[in-house]
Amino acid sequence: MAGGRTGQPGTFMRLLGYVARQPVLLGAAVLFLILGTVVLAFQPLLFGRAVDEFASGDAGNATLYGVSIVAVAVLGGLLTYVANRQLASLAQHGMELMREDLFAAMQTLSLGFYDAEAPGDLNARVTSDIETVNQFFTAAVPRIITTAMTVVTMLIIMFSLDFTMSVVVLLIVPMSLGLIVVLGRRIQADAAAYQQLIGEVNGYAEEVVQGQRTVRTYATEAETLSRLIELSEEAREADRSAQFRSYLMQPASRLVNNLDIALVGLIGGTRALSGAISLGDVVSFVGYSQQFGGQAMQLSQVVTQTLSAVAGARRVFSIIDTEPDLASKDGATPLPSAEGKVDFDHVDFSYIESKQILFDNDFHVEPGQFIGLVGPTGAGKSTIINLLTRFYDIQSGTISLDDHDITDVELDDLRHRCGVVLQVPYLFSESVMYNLKYGRDGATDEECIEAAKSANAHGFISRLPNGYDTVLAEGAVSLSQGQRQLLTIARAIVSEPDVLVLDEATSSVDTRTERRIQAAIDRLMEGRTSFVIAHRLATVRHADQIIALDRGRIQEIGSHDELMAARGFYRDLYMEQFTNGDHDDQPV
Amino acid sequence: MSGIRAFFRVLSYAPASERRNFMLAQLGVIVMVGIQLMIPQLVQRIIDEGILAENTDRVVEVGFQMILWSVLNLIVAGGVAYLTALTATNLAHSLRRLLYEKVTTFSHGDLDRLSTAELLVRLTSDVNIMKTAFMQTMFMLFQAPWLLVGAVVLVWIQSPSLVWIMAAVMVVTVIVVLAIAPGLGPLYAKAQAALDRLNTVFYENIAGVRVVKAFNRTELEAERFAERNQEVYQRQLKPALRSALFQPVLFGLLYCAVGVAVLTSGTEVATGVVNGDPDALQPGELTTFFNYLLTAMIPIMIVAFVLPELGKFEASLSRIVEVMRTEPDIIPPTDPVDPGELTGRIEFRSVSMSYLDGDRRPLQTPVLRDVSFEAEPGETVAILGQTGSGKTTLISLVPRFYDVTDGQVLVDGNDVRTLDLTALRSQISVAEQQAMVFRGTFYSNIAYGRSYGSDRASEPRCDYHQAEHAARVADAHGFISAQLDGYDGAVTESGNNLSGGQRQRLSLARAIAAKPRILILDDTTSAVDVATEARIQQALDVEMAGRTVLIVAQRITTAMRADKIVLLDEGTVSDVGSHAELMERSELYREIAESQLGSLEEIADLLEAP
């Protein structure tokens, strides 16, 4: 995918950049965290000194030490809390911004991008990658900062006490790193293998649950079950070793930690004997060593989280960075309204380079004309519509609306001028009214109800549980395919287009219903340029021009009567409706 | 606490071997806790008997012991980790198996009522949540009570004068945790719900991208998105702010306790040292106290961490149990009749049918009323009628996808409710309008109905030659052979790489390849053009000679070719007869014919013309 060339460190910094959008707040949070950590780091020091003095038989300062430790605890706790709150809020805000960027980027991408991605994959990526990054922001980022601050403060205090002992305490770092390298890598590899396998399990489950009616039809319940078990067993094996190893991480770190404590005790004891440091300092160092172990353990968890967040973020950024390949030109012509004159001049088009779809398409439509597009499946009828609304750009030739090349027109304006009813009725899981208003910004309730009435949709909408306010969500209200189509037609009516496009819009509506909406469509088409794709040739027989297409080439253009008289391609197509396809040249 | 009950309930259903593993792991957990409690003791000895006694040999000796115990801990923990991973992954696997097994018993009606998305959540994320929580409970949560009790008892034995400080700080900590933790669960649930709503916008902008672009409503979508994005921000912030309290409060309390200990016991320790009193509190014991405090704090943090997970465990469990308790509404006959090879005679005898509501009660308005007709073996019968007239319902009754409310559906003279379901369904193929195809190859999709089917295990699988033949009949051979890999070309998930018409023809080929005795086409050719449809029809006539075909049709041209047309009007049979008969006597039929074909005179003229 384009744009995903940033390296791991680059992605990481960019990710952190989302938290750093409010530098003052972030600075304040970090400052509080530093202060809190510094204050808390005094605790082992004070404690060590106290034990030291008590051991020498002097309890004179016990109250001072005790009160200081409590004061340090309260102050340190407060500072840390304020900082944690601030960081949580910055992290959540960063997530909000990132989701916004992603969504905004996805909206500018052309259909070409969506064609190349399986919708299921894109959904999963958007959801799970964002969630991984969220985990990173909420759990890992505050931890990284806290840990880093704690380590730095402890280092300063430790080194001010004794250099050699500090080095001994720090031995835990290479040991823990070794552990992360040896065990952590295995865990990551296992986890990746498991993710892959469980992805297959879930993918298969999704398919067979969605296809359960087909499973029922062919009575393949047992076969699908055994396939699922097989996949699930493979995933189980990978999961088992991943889980086993990840649960080993904690006792292994503890072993490393205890090894370090023993070393500190041994070397510290020797140094205390030689008088290089006090016994109390050794006690303090034992405490630091324990704390360092804890920090190391936390860091090892953070490392895994960070790595997967960086991987997830890289995929998110690759979407954000994809350059929209279709946009209005600078200084594009605004087109607040259109007469509806449409011209295709020698248009060639292919979705992918190797496979040309349209060849030299050339036709001219006067304002208000009714155009029928006919031809066998795959002739390129829908493609013409996709090009007119500029869902894709053509390779050669020009398409113009009112004598403006559509690539020179504001894209927003162009699409506002065209009202489209697509082959597959798509509705949003919002209220019926929302879906109707979708047609045009600023449409009123009354206009929408009026549109529903003229699309013959008002009747069934009124019978829905909450009428126009009924929310169309899966499992709640089920509309038939025909009803959904009526709604999309009403939506197109609301949009008050200058050019109307109906792409096989009536294919799931029965004849009677079709006739009723045909009346509404006739009204809608009045005075508007209209393109209609229909399989039932009767629907377009009154068209001003019928464009008959076959394999991407225009075969004939003319009215129904002209084309019937011409006894060519269109007439053959028309006659096939009645003649059982007798003159069929394809071997069966 | 109910989460723990849920945990044991799940365990009680597990096989004996799993329960044994669990018990074994718990023994290991106790050993681990023992070692964890012993380590601070050893640290204390290093300080008291080694460093403070200025005895380096003792430091080496105790240090060595400490490492040995840590190695033992690693070994035991390894065993526990293995048993935990074993039990939990077995649990996940069994849940997936049981759930899907259950799903395969659901009828079409059950599937209509249950949402696919929800079933999938049970099978995927609920199973995963249960597995994760199960592991955390088994490995971590059960350490908590032992650790807590052990730490208190040890402090009691060693430094009785400090135990009250410990008790006090424990009580305060538990109160604080109880004040913060239980509220987190609902907050997380709300955040998740907000996230689901946000994701819906994402999904819809992916699935409905053409509509968004066609109506150019990117601004509206951006507003809808921003609103929900803001909601997610607020909902996710709440639990985050709340849990930001944990760490500072717990550590603050811990250090306060240390301060109090220093404050109150300084004199005792110092006096003891001066007097050389071995019974007095030793300096090292102060350090140990600090360590035990840390140790006792850990289980409380574990509980605070795992309890919300157990809450999720319980919630997921109850959702899964709900699915498992759903009784399928089509129950296979207890004493099924084996119909043998069907001749394919179908009879509807005064059939009425109402769909069931959520509570399994028939809905007020029946979809079919008093429907009677017959299809003789070898006949092609078309079902014609307007949207909502009950066409799809009618054909769904033949393979018994739904049960009738009244009357009888007979196949070969037997009520379908008495027949062996697998035997019946494996001899009927249905090709739907919204064709579902599976990930795999073109060949695997076409062979789908034949390579399976337990009753026909002896029958040879559908080979490539037969698959190609079926594809030719369905007019799918052209686009399949145009693929780079032909019949081995990939079909992606749900057939996303195919057009609607291609999916329909592929599913038709699958239906044909299954060599059914009864073929049902539910508006299968709605997305192909008329000429192609005519070709398919003609090929089907040859292919299905002698077998029964039911065709749901929108186009009159499809119906015209049938031996018999059943004309449905709002759930009742308006008329039954051939095209010629219906043209003659049915007003409704003529109306449909004229609207699709143009005026009747014109058609007659055209057909007569050369």
| Length of chain A measured in residues | 588
The pLDDT of residue A5: 44
State the pTM of this model.
0.75
How many CB atoms neighbour CB B54 within 10 A?
13
What confidence tens digit (pLDDT) does each residue in A343-360 have?
999 999 887 777 788 888
CB A561 within 8 A of CB A554: no
Record the tokens describing residue A392, joined without a space.
């894709």
What confidence tens digit (pLDDT) does each residue in B407-451 have?
999 999 999 999 998 888 888 988 887 777 888 889 988 988 764
A239 Cβ neighbours under 8 A, 6+ residues apart: A194, A197, A198, B85, B89, B92, B131
Q: Regarding predicted confidence, which is higher, B398 or B140?
A: B398
How many CB atoms neighbour CB B311 within 10 A?
21
How confident is the model over B582-607, as a mean pLDDT? 75
Q: Does the structure show a pLDDT above 80 at B51?
A: no
Alpha carbons within 13 angstroms on the beta-carbon side of residue B54 total 8
What confidence tens digit (pLDDT) does each residue in B506-516 have?
989 999 988 88
Measured in angstroms, the CA of B186 and the nearest CA of chain A are apart by: 18
What confidence tens digit (pLDDT) does each residue in A572-584 have?
888 776 654 333 3
Torsion of CA A413, A417, A421, A423, to 10 degrees: -60
Instruction: Express as a percent the part of chain A with pLDDT over 70.
Output: 90
CB A246 within 8 A of CB A305: no
B167-175 long-range contacts, CB within 8 A, separation 24+: B168/B257, B169/B253, B169/B254, B169/B256, B169/B257, B169/B293, B170/B296, B170/B300, B172/B253, B173/B250, B173/B253, B173/B297, B173/B300, B174/B300
- What number is the ipTM of this complex? 0.80
CB contact under 8 A, B60 and A57: no
Q: Does the structure show a pLDDT above 80 at B87?
A: yes
The pLDDT of residue B610: 47
Q: How far is CA B262 from the centre of its chain?
A: 56
Among A237, A209, A158, residue whose Cα is nearest residue B111: A209
Nearest C-alpha in A relative to B33: A251
Window 363-402 of A: residues touching B by CB (8 A cutoff) are: 375-378, 389, 391
Q: In the 8-state DSSP scheme, what is residue B380? A: E
Q: Which helix (H) or strand (E) holds B430?
A: strand B428-431
Record the tokens describing residue B144, joined without a space.
């908590």
Among B337, B360, B485, B472, residue whose Cα is nearest residue B412: B337
Q: Does the structure show a pLDDT above 70 at B608?
A: no
Residue B522's beta-bridge partner residues?
B552
Q: Provide DSSP, A172-202.
A: HHHHHHHHIIIIIHHHHHHHHHHHHHHHHHH
Record the tokens describing residue B261, joined without a space.
């200990």
Record the tokens describing residue A279, joined without a space.
């016994």
Among B173, B179, B138, B183, residue whose Cα is nearest residue B311: B183
Measured in angstroms, the CA of A417 and the nearest CA of chain B are apart by: 9
Question: Which residue type sits at A537?
Answer: L
Gap between the Cα atoms of B359 and B353, Å rounded: 16
CA angle A116, A119, A120 (to 5 degrees): 130
Window 315-374 of A: residues touching B by CB (8 A cutoff) are: none
Torsion of CA B8, B10, B11, B15, to 10 degrees: 160
Closest Cβ opposite residue B74 in set A72, A228, A252: A252
Per the listing, tokens 């009924």 go with: A470
What confidence tens digit (pLDDT) does each residue in B289-322 have?
877 787 777 777 777 777 777 877 888 888 888 8
A254 touches chain B (CB under 8 A): yes
The pLDDT of residue B606: 60
Window 9-38 of A: residues touching B by CB (8 A cutoff) are: 36
What confidence tens digit (pLDDT) does each residue in A359-371 have?
888 999 999 899 9
The pLDDT of residue B346: 95
Gap between the Cα atoms of A239 and B129, Å rounded: 14
Whole-angstrom Cα Rg for chain B: 36
CA angle B535, B536, B537 (to 5 degrees): 90
Burial class (CB in 10 A: 0-12, 13-18, 19+), B123: buried
Encode A48-94 in three state secondary structure: HHHHHHHHCCCCCCHHHHHHHHHHHHHHHHHHHHHHHHHHHHHHHHH
Query: To probe the interface with A, which of B68, B91, B213, B391 has the most A CB atoms within 10 Å?
Result: B213
CB A128 within 8 A of CB A311: no
User: How far is the CA of A215 from the CAs of A112, A558, B363, B477, in angstroms?
Assistant: 33, 48, 27, 24
How confident is the model over B180-203, as a mean pLDDT? 80
How confident is the model over B169-186, as a mean pLDDT? 82
Measured in angstroms, the CA of A13 and the nearest CA of chain B are apart by: 22
Residues of A in contact with B542 (CB under 8 A): 588
Confidence grade of residue A2 (pLDDT, cut at 50, 70, 90): very low
Gap between the Cα atoms of B446 and B423, Å rounded: 20
The pLDDT of residue A289: 83
How confident is the model over A323-349, as a mean pLDDT? 84
CA angle A402, A383, B499 (to 5 degrees): 155
How confident is the model over A114-142, as a mean pLDDT? 73
Q: Provide DSSP, B313-372.
A: HHHHHHHHHHHHHPPPSS---SS-B---S----EEEEEEEE--B-TTSPBPSS-SEEEEE
The pLDDT of residue B456: 46
A226 touches chain B (CB under 8 A): no
Record the tokens describing residue A233, joined without a space.
């067993």
CB B387 within 8 A of CB A510: yes
The overall average pLDDT reported for chain B is 84
How confident is the model over A144-152, as a mean pLDDT? 78
How many CB atoms neighbour CB A503 within 10 A?
22
Whole-angstrom Cα Rg for chain A: 35
Residues of B in contact with A538 (CB under 8 A): 595-598
CB A415 within 8 A of CB A444: no
What confidence tens digit (pLDDT) does each residue in A439-488 have?
888 889 999 999 998 888 898 888 887 889 988 865 445 677 678 878 88
Question: Which residue type sits at A367?
Answer: P
Q: How far is CA B254 from the centre of its chain?
A: 44
Record the tokens describing residue B25, joined without a space.
């792991």
Burial class (CB in 10 A: 0-12, 13-18, 19+), B278: exposed
What confidence tens digit (pLDDT) does each residue in A267-326 have?
887 887 787 888 778 878 887 887 777 777 777 677 767 877 887 888 888 888 887 777
Nearest C-alpha in B relative to A482: B387
**Pick from A473-477, A491-495, B196-200: least confident:** A473-477
